[in-house]
Structure 1
Amino acid sequence: MKLAPVRAVPGFDDLGMDWLRARGSVKWHRPERDVLPAWVADMDFPTPPPVVAALREVVDGRDLGYPDWPDGSPLRTAFAERMAGRFGWAASADRVREQTDLIQCLQLVLHLATSDGDAVAVQVPNYPPFLATLRTMNRRIVPVPMEDTDDGPRMDFAALDTAVKRSGCTALVLVNPHNPTGRVLTRDELGEIAAIARRHDLLVVSDEIHAELTYAPHRHIPFASLSDDTARRTVTLTSATKAFNLAAIRCAVTHYGPDRLLALRDAQPPDLYGTVSPLGVVATLAAWRHGDAWQRELLTVLDRNRRRVHEVVRDRLPLVRHRLPEATYLAWLDTRPLGLDEPPVEKVLREGRVLLDGGAPFGPGADGFLRLNFATSRNVLEEVLGRVVEALGGREGDGGAGGHLAP
């Protein structure tokens, strides 16, 4: 398969293998040297220059003392401005609170709003740490499967309504854009969920961390922006970490819609759940205020890469089902038609020396699926795809997709 002529993007396609393997982050550090990682949801790209510059300015100024934030960090206003400018959502800065990461945001909300043994509805497949959180906190998981239709993964709203009613759910964890399938829910679909939430008086915890990684013509719509009733029952979780590759800054925000829940949160001891680092706030502000040009280049690369994954799977693994993701940098591959005699994650690692995610950790019905992270340079992606195709017994290509990188 010949590669389509595509402009190489400096800063994204010129990543050296020595540089990647020298990184201390878990993605590249944990696998053995001959294994290519395409698993955990970190991008391979360097930190955006505006973020580096902002952090350097703080460090060079030799001022790492206590910040003067008597009314909360500047993230609160910055978040409201970002939501209004990007999505037309008039979020209130007064309802924003900072936490160290999205998982902590979710855990705090569940701790305050639900009780031991409460039923919580959640889409499946789903982000494994969310499912693990619900299990660890002894919340009863009510799985709502995403239907695999000719138009891609879709939520079954009748099944959601029935499951919520039958199980007596008190909350719904909504992931939109969806990890791992990459679906972006439409306004009509979100309206169906809002109606179910209103009918059963559900708290909706909406994870929207991939919102800025949505590909045209798809459009992210904040769930809380649908109506006043929806806003009053929705807690929105997000961060700059996914859209700007900043996982280690440990900085996220929660927007509280319910008055009672916000008051309950503010009644907690102020430092019980930790506080965000000023460096995390500086990095987030730099990303949101000065990182748009970098992000546009990023989306160009990710759009190209998602199409390349789809092309290779279609042509060289025709039995494997794959839908072009509408958002995120994650491909969700259904290998069940191959009839493998072992989990595909294990087969691809053993025979292809590529580390992917997938299978049971993503919830009921995820066996036989692979999640492939395509947020990397063109050459690394070609090698990853070539190895995956070979490990799964795919067709030979006419060039490209593998065989270029030193072990």
Structure 2
Amino acid sequence: MSLAARRPDTPAPAERCVPGFDDLERGWLRNRSGVKWHRVDPTVLPSWVADMDYPIPTVVADALHHVIAAGDLGYPDWPDGSPLRPIFAQRMASRYGWHASASRVREQTDLIQCLQLILHLATSPGEAVAVQTPNYPPFLATLKTMQRPAVHVPMVDTDDGWRMDMAALSDDVARRGCKVLLLVNPHNPTGRVLTRDELNEIAAIARRHDLLVISDEIHSELTYSPNEHIPFASLSPDAAARTVTITSATKAFNLAGLRCTVTHYGPDRLLAIRDAQPPDLYGTVSNLSVVGTRAAWLEADAWQKDLITVLDRNRRRVHDVLHHHVPALRHRLPEATYLTWIDTGQPQAVDGPAQHVLRHGGVLLDGGEAFGPRAGAYLRLNFATSADVLEEILDGVVAALAPLRKC
């Protein structure tokens, strides 16, 4: 029996259905070639990698179809950089009051490439990088591969929710001689959105220790009211001058496969070093990726508004189900993203909590081990799917983890 049948406060399917988001056909999902659904066994429900299950915005699909139908796939005419540069600047100003300079924007294929390029240009092997943990595993893997020692700044689960350990940041930056702070805000995986006071405290530490701040803000447009995203570079002239902001339309519009990210360079010297590199050494974005991103940022806000409504409903559903059916778990309602971070309290479970849920619940979640120290007891759940699929995911998670209530 499903959770929907067990709980009288669950809305009827017709009442909760949002067309385009809740009418997903299982066969369509299973036939997708993306890693999220393609990699799992047909008996398993995927709720792991950070892809949404929804179709892309119609305006984005139409823009891509138009280019292909017109055969317009020749070399693009972008003598001053792609058209995304002024569009990004305009979007930052209208959404956040941050007057970013279009002339400081550069394009890369994805966020990981952005990070790797910046670290390559701004640091040397052996130089330490401060980073919140838990954190996005490819970021941590990048630091290890590039031999930039990670200085772990804990995100702490307090009575008031997740908080960044500011004292540890200040002390460890000084003790380890960090050159860079990798700041993820909104935070993946906890879903925390840092407040202006917190960001100002971080900015003061960065100024005191002369840190380059690499600010990953890719989840900024997936922030739930009343929380507010504040670009780090918008805090002050000093913050702007030391911050490299990396972001993309890929998370907020479900376009990861287009491979298009923008980077805003605050430091003059770093931008000059970047522009002195051979122009194609680090690759260039495709015409289609720019067309898709442009359509998303200029024409898909109505779609995104519906998306936020659905995700807000889903995050609350996950929180309510876990609270009522597995009260032994520790879980915070995420303030942003479509990912939620679950403390099972069971790091010693056979093969880890993720394998336990897969074996006993038929649901694939991300296990916490790759997210950094002290994360082995955690699970990351992706709730960007239809109401019906989410119910089945929660059925499996509850079936696997409900015995924890007895612990």
What TM-score does the superposition give when structure 1 sets the normalisation length? 0.96
- Once residues 82 and 34 of structure 1 are traced to their aligned partners in structure 2, the CA distance between those partners, rounded to angstroms, is 42
Q: What is the Cα deviation at residue 151 of structure 1?
A: 1.3
Structure 1 counterpart of 2:11, one-letter code: A
- Once residues 363 and 135 of structure 1 are traced to their aligned partners in structure 2, the CA distance between those partners, rounded to angstroms, is 12
Aligned to 2:62: 53
Q: Select between 75-84 and 338-347 the one with higher mean Cα deviation.
A: 338-347
Picking from 85, 94, 98, the partner of 1:85 is: 94
Aligned to 1:365: 374
- Once residues 201 and 393 of structure 1 are traced to their aligned partners in structure 2, the CA distance between those partners, rounded to angstroms, is 48
1:341-400 CA-to-partner distances (Å, cap 9, x unmatched) read 44100100111111100221000011110000000000000000000100113599xxxx
Picking from 356, 380, 385, the partner of 1:347 is: 356
- Once residues 109 and 342 of structure 1 are traced to their aligned partners in structure 2, the CA distance between those partners, rounded to angstroms, is 36
Length, aligned pairs only: 396
In structure 2, the residue corresponding to 1:392 is in which secondary structure? helix
* Unaligned segments of structure 2, at least 5 residues: 1-6
Picking from 4, 21, 32, the partner of 2:11 is: 4
Instruction: Report if the CA contact (8 A) 2:249-2:293 is conserved.
Output: yes
Change (3 A) 1:157 1:183: same
After the TM superposition, which residues 139-288 of structure 1 pair with which residues of structure 2 at under 5 Å, given as runs? 139-288=148-297
- Once residues 294 and 374 of structure 2 are traced to their aligned partners in structure 1, the CA distance between those partners, rounded to angstroms, is 39
Picking from 18, 21, 40, the partner of 2:49 is: 40
Alignment of 1:385 onto 2:394: yes
1:86-132 CA-to-partner distances (Å, cap 9, x unmatched) read 11100000000000001100100000001011000000000000000
- Once residues 60 and 73 of structure 2 are traced to their aligned partners in structure 1, the CA distance between those partners, rounded to angstroms, is 17
Structure 1 counterpart of 2:179, one-letter code: T
- Once residues 118 and 198 of structure 1 are traced to their aligned partners in structure 2, the CA distance between those partners, rounded to angstroms, is 18
Q: What is the Cα deviation at residue 340 of structure 1?
A: 3.5
- Once residues 15 and 359 of structure 1 are traced to their aligned partners in structure 2, the CA distance between those partners, rounded to angstroms, is 29
- Once residues 168 and 404 of structure 2 are traced to their aligned partners in structure 1, the CA distance between those partners, rounded to angstroms, is 39
In structure 2, the residue corresponding to 1:52 is in which secondary structure? helix
In structure 2, the residue corresponding to 1:332 is in which secondary structure? strand
Structure 1 counterpart of 2:146, one-letter code: M
- Once residues 53 and 67 of structure 1 are traced to their aligned partners in structure 2, the CA distance between those partners, rounded to angstroms, is 19
- Once residues 347 and 77 of structure 2 are traced to their aligned partners in structure 1, the CA distance between those partners, rounded to angstroms, is 59
- Once residues 247 and 347 of structure 2 are traced to their aligned partners in structure 1, the CA distance between those partners, rounded to angstroms, is 37
Instruction: Report if the CA contact (8 A) 2:183-2:213 is conserved.
Output: yes
In structure 2, the residue corresponding to 1:212 is in which secondary structure? helix
Structure 1 counterpart of 2:264, one-letter code: H
In structure 1, the residue corresponding to 2:152 is in which secondary structure? strand
Instruction: Report if the CA contact (8 A) 2:133-2:373 is conserved.
Output: yes
**What fraction of aligned residue pairs are identical, expressed as a percent?**
70
Picking from 384, 401, 406, the partner of 1:375 is: 384
- Once residues 274 and 404 of structure 2 are traced to their aligned partners in structure 1, the CA distance between those partners, rounded to angstroms, is 55
Aligned to 1:401: none
- Once residues 341 and 288 of structure 1 are traced to their aligned partners in structure 2, the CA distance between those partners, rounded to angstroms, is 45
RMSD, matched Cα: 1.2
